Structure 1
């Protein structure tokens, strides 16, 4: 197993053995690393056909669970991911999508709520995440709504210094501030956390944290996958 300390998330996901479990969810079959990697490659092609490449920012508005985890890994492997709290109001989505300079929004299939309304008003590409019925945890298809937002993007791979993730501060002292994290930042953080926690490929993490927050994305999801471990993603926690 090779640990990626300074590379890209796509390289980080090579740590898991092909048939090892990568993602899980209550009552559903596990998704293996080979299934996860194949799905990511196929979905990156969909994003490219929508004109989305490494420099483009894609907001992800999905409920917690394995589809959210897999969607984040898909976007961050070919563009810049910006996960947003699905409970935001339309006014809040308007602020965040404007501040992000988002080009597209990933939504759960059939979502016509505030995020969809805001994206339509702004003329952003909307791409539906359609869970695969009966499939393993995290399996889904991407279905763009309407015509592609632009010409097909080139197939350039993200590089370590490319921005991979955009998150906002809580805004407790002023308006929320945008924080960019590079591919290398994410890989280094995942490596440091997995080393500190002494995670191995035999470990299974139970994630109950929001996947629009850095702690859920890094301390649970990325750190476990960086060592070839498994993450079980719950719909939420009360």
Structure 2
């Protein structure tokens, strides 16, 4: 399906519509209610542009990779788009990886820089791995200044502060958050070799540029690099928006990690393509989940079956009636037991839509249908914007209930791995 965008950054409208709602672990002292911070698309674009003009983002060459290890946060979202705005490649990793795991991926991806969150628990771990790989590390912090249940454009301001490697500081007045980055020294060896010339901020994008570089497992026993293009991700996002009839009025609640396609493409980017709002908690908590979902009026969430089961187990203590605002519950990334699906629908009073996805397909391939369409317990539905066939070992299409290989085709699919470590091996 065609779309009017040349790259993922263009999906962000320059509007005063809410893009992200951050949930906090604190309460508003005046109301004794949970605190939230609402950030608008126009603000997000401004924050991305600020990062884009500062190191290390301003030095990125088109096609170079940036590895970042950030938890679900506004920092993650701005860093992701700032990388893409420079026509570079985003390579998010699990922030809980060990030194050896990080080192493996750094040696495989060979990024120009690594970005971590200031004062995060993984900073020293990342520094050790990056030092062994001879890659410079930048530390990013972002602090919300005004945290209110309602945010206006007239009474909240922020300072954007950047600390360069020589610790000189600059500040820019604007709205709502404090951004700060500085380069971590000490353990970085031969960092001069990684300096890049300032790239043109007005590069001509290509839909076939690689936007996201992730890893997935397979029969080779080693993680394999999967490059996803702007074209493929945009196609997948459009399929998701169409499948669930996402609108600007929708609010998705982010449960899954952003370093996987489920949380990033399946929820966050697809929500933004529709002009909707993403609710971003610091981490998933069954105790806090329904407080946020009901309090903010979330219209859908997507999760793996284990999280759905956690919500069911804790429902007697945590569930709050949502008054019909929850349009649907999506399940993906693992098979959902039919009994669990039925229990979810009965307990939470929303249709459960099971989907089938994989990294190589920029996430979603098949999905069941929203009411009044058919949704079958134990089924992942039909291809949504993707051609799906079941073939035998000879490539012949099977019919009925015959067992075979799932084969898919469509513009959302990647074109092949590029990781040096597996170039000589087969991909299955």
- TM-score, reference length from structure 2: 0.51
Q: 1:138 to 1:125 in 2, by over 3 A?
A: farther
Q: Once the 2 structures are TM-superposed, how far is the Cα of residue 182 of structure 1 from its aligned partner? A: 0.7
1:87 partnered with 2:96: yes
Deviates more, 1:159-168 or 1:123-132: 123-132
Larger Rg: 2
Q: Which residue of 1 aligns with 2:127?
A: 116
Q: Which residue of 2 aligns with 1:25?
A: 22
CA RMSD of aligned residues (A): 2.3
Residue 177 of structure 1, CA deviation: 0.4
Change (3 A) 1:65 1:167: same
Matching residue within 179, 182, 194 for 1:140? 179
Give the aligned partner of residue 130 of structure 1.
141
Check if 1:154 corresponds to 2:162. Answer: no
SS at match of 1:42: helix
19-28 or 48-57, larger mean C-alpha shift = 48-57
The equivalent residue for 1:219 is 266
Q: CA deviation at 1:170?
A: 3.1
Q: Point out the structure with the larger helix share.
A: 1
Q: Deviations over 1:89-144 (max 9, x none)?
A: 10000100111111111100134321121112322121211112425788633333
User: Residue 5 of structure 1: CA displacement?
Assistant: 5.7
Deviation sequence 1:201-233 (CA, Å, 0-9, x none): 011100010000011000110000001111011
- Secondary structure of the equivalent of 2:15? coil
Listed as ranges, the gaps of 5+ residues in structure 1 are: none
Q: Is the 8 A contact 1:21 1:33 kept in 2?
A: yes
Separation (CA, whole Å) in 1 of partners of 2:246 and 2:177: 22
Preserved contact between residue 52 and residue 58 of structure 2 (Cα < 8 Å): no
Cα deviation digits, residues 4-23 of structure 1 (max 9, x gap): 46520111213xx5110001
Moved more, 86-95 or 21-30: 21-30
Query: Residues of 2 paired with 1:133 and 1:224: CA distance?
Result: 23
> Whole-Å Cα distance in 2 between the matches of residues 116 and 144 of structure 1?
11
The structure 1 residue matched to 2:280, chosen from 220, 233, 236, is: 233
SS state of the match for residue 54, structure 2? helix
Q: CA distance change for structure 1 residues 19 and 57 in 2, over 3 Å: closer, same or farther?
A: same
Q: Are the counterparts in 1 of residues 215 and 226 from structure 2 also a CA contact under 8 Å?
A: yes
In structure 1, the residue matched to 2:29 is: none
Give yes or no for contact 1:69–1:138 (8 Å, CA) kept in 2.
no
Select between 217-226 and 49-58 the one with higher mean Cα deviation.
49-58
The 5 Å alignment of 1:38-117 reads: 38-47=46-55, 51-78=59-86, 79-111=88-120, 112-117=123-128
Q: Determine if the alignment matches structure 1 residue 165 to structure 2 residue 204.
A: no
Higher RCO, Cα 8 Å, sep 6+: 1
- Specify the alignment match of 1:207 in structure 2: 254
Structure 1 residues 103 and 138: alpha-carbon distance in aligned structure 2, compared to 1, 3 A threshold: farther
Between 58-67 and 148-157, report the one with greater CA deviation: 148-157
In structure 2, stretches of 5+ residues that fail to align are 24-34, 148-175, 186-190, 286-428
After TM superposition, the score normalised by the length of structure 1 is 0.88
Deviates more, 1:189-198 or 1:43-52: 43-52
The secondary structure found in structure 1 opposite 2:60 is coil
| CA distances 1:46-93 after superposition (whole Å, capped 9, x unpaired) | 256652132110011012223222322222232100010011110000
Q: 2:222 aligns with which of 172, 175, 187?
A: 175
Higher mean C-alpha deviation, range 202-211 or range 131-140: 131-140
The C-alpha deviation readout for 1:179-212, integer Å capped at 9, x for no partner, is 0001111111111111111000011100010000
Look up the SS of the partner of 2:284 in the other structure. coil
* Count of aligned positions: 234
Q: Equivalents in 1 of 2:220, 2:117: separation in Å? A: 33
